[in-house]
Amino acid sequence: MRSSLATRAVAVGVVAGLGIAAAGPAFAADPGVTSKQVVIGMTTPLTGPASPGYKDVAPAAQAYFDYVNANGGINGRKVKFVVKDDQYNPAKTKSATSELILRDRIFAMFGALGTPTHSAVIADLNRRGIPDVFVNTGSSNFDNPSRYPMTFPYFPSYVVEAKVMASYIQGDSALSGKKRCLFYQDGEFGENASKGFTAAGMSFDTTVSYFSGQQVAPFTAQVTNMKAAGCELVVFFGVTSATAQLLGTAAKAAFRPTWMITSVGSDPSVLSGSLGAATNTLLNGIYSPNFMTPIQDTKNAYVSQMKVIATKNNLPWNFYTYYGINTAYVLSQAIKAAGPNLSRKGLVNALQTKASSFRSGAVVPMVINSKSHQGLTGYYMGKYNASGELERITNYIMTATSSSKGTAKKSTFKPAGPTRKLLP
């Protein structure tokens, strides 16, 4: 009682005092944008347990924005990119985001990383009408334009990935007859994976799990169970550090099924950091879906040019760098498409109406409109070769939605080439 009365009293006082009572917000000038600059914010773990790999995304995006700024900016505006380290702690994400909004006056949020972390700020960003572009997570919950009109995921959700895996397994006679097992990380990975596989009508003979943080100890018990169950195809949904632990433990136990590993859990550069010399042997023959042109494919105009930007900035050439440059490139195109009179509403409109025209290293269509903010819609299936590189093995792609119904559909899609010199 006390607080609400007080609040009302104070609210009246403040509003009256500042003389802003009924004055509607000015649409002309959104915060964070002037004729010469646009301010973009990001929260991501730069230190702490979740930082390995992911800490490379922000410097990569920064490198791309530097490159754009050095070439005249976007519609004459330079990008000021403010990154805050949240250590993957939702409480810190909240503080960092508040500072980005209230002190740094960001125009838009970009590439905020993590499901629990972003859950703590997504409502606030949307209520304030701040574009929340290309959230860096595979959670399917953020694609909900009626609830989060400002939020735009980028990569296809784990649900889509599960549907794609199911579709591929069913269509490949070498895999469809195998005894299937599912191994997942408790929580979001497990929920999304089972949602996708259930929708696709795929069941597993055995399902085992681990808890986040358990990967410090070998997965001996889980591997024992899968081995005892006679698993021939193991589908794994988890983070890369757990993949490393799993492959190591399985090798030790002489457990050699066919593996299919989620894209976020299979970055070879990070895996080779953890697995060392044995990486290529362990990875060889593992299936993994992906949505971008394989990173080693330097004949590709996207890969070669993004690698140039990475090389110029002394960044390690791994999937996180590739991803960071790629999403920064797409965001820059969106800002450019929003036109010279940049506004938050304009950016949202550009994303919702022109997303399919944005060029990127992704090889699947991007669907963003007023009814769906899905982002990228599917995957191709890839397989690791003896050099530890992911090779694309389907010339078709498989697309799906994050809905609890429907399966993945095969289709062909040929992406357009990059813009001149990779400038927006």
> Binding to another protein (CB under 8 A): which residues in 189-248?
191, 208-225, 228, 241, 244-245, 248
Question: Cβ of residue 180: shortest distance to another protein, in angstroms?
Answer: 18
With binding defined as CB under 8 A, does residue 384 bind another protein?
A: no
Q: Measure the N-to-C terminal CA separation of the chain; round to a whole number of Å.
A: 54
Looking at 230-238, 258-266, 322-330, 397-405, which segment touches another protein (CB under 8 A)? 397-405
Looking at 230-238, 258-266, 298-306, 321-329, which segment touches another protein (CB under 8 A)? 298-306
194 close to 227: Cβ distance less than 8 angstroms: no
Determine the Cα angle at 314 with ends 308 and 320, to 5°: 75
Q: What letter does residue 403 receive in the DSSP assignment? A: S
Looking at 81-89, 230-238, 257-265, 324-332, which segment touches another protein (CB under 8 A)? 81-89
DSSP 342-388: --HHHHHHHHHHHGGG---SB-S-EE--SS---EE-EEEEEEE-TTS
* One residue of 131, 145, 156, 257 binding another protein per CB under 8 A: 145
Determine the Cα angle at 368 with ends 365 and 373, to 5°: 115
**230: phi then psi, degrees, rounded to nearest 5:** 75, 35
With binding defined as CB under 8 A, does residue 116 bind another protein?
A: yes
Looking at 70-78, 230-238, 257-265, 321-329, which segment touches another protein (CB under 8 A)? 70-78
With binding defined as CB under 8 A, does residue 7 bind another protein?
A: yes
Distance CA 378, CA 220 (A): 33
* One residue of 203, 312, 341, 387 binding another protein per CB under 8 A: 312
Half-sphere exposure of residue 209, counting CA atoms within 13 Å on the CB side?
A: 11
> Binding to another protein (CB under 8 A): which residues in 245-284?
245, 248, 251-254, 270, 272-279
Distance CA 343, CA 400 (A): 32
Distance CA 266, CA 236 (A): 10
> Binding to another protein (CB under 8 A): which residues in 15-44?
15, 17-18, 20-21, 23-31, 34, 36-37, 39
- x/- binding map, residues 319-338, to another protein, per CB under 8 A? --------------x--xx-
Buried/exposed code over 215-244 (b: 16+ C-beta within 10 A; e: otherwise): beebbeebbebbbeeebbbbbbbbbbbbbb
Looking at 110-118, 230-238, 258-266, 324-332, which segment touches another protein (CB under 8 A)? 110-118
Q: Is 179 or 409 the residue whose CB approaches another protein more closely?
A: 409
Question: Cβ of residue 203: shortest distance to another protein, in angstroms?
Answer: 18
Q: What letter does residue 217 receive in the DSSP assignment? A: S
> Binding to another protein (CB under 8 A): which residues in 335-374?
336-337, 345, 348-349, 352, 354, 356-357, 365, 367, 369-374
With binding defined as CB under 8 A, does residue 386 bind another protein?
A: no
**256: phi then psi, degrees, rounded to nearest 5:** -125, 70
With binding defined as CB under 8 A, does residue 122 bind another protein?
A: yes
Half-sphere exposure of residue 10, counting CA atoms within 13 Å on the CB side?
A: 6
With binding defined as CB under 8 A, does residue 57 bind another protein?
A: no
Looking at 141-149, 230-238, 257-265, 321-329, which segment touches another protein (CB under 8 A)? 141-149
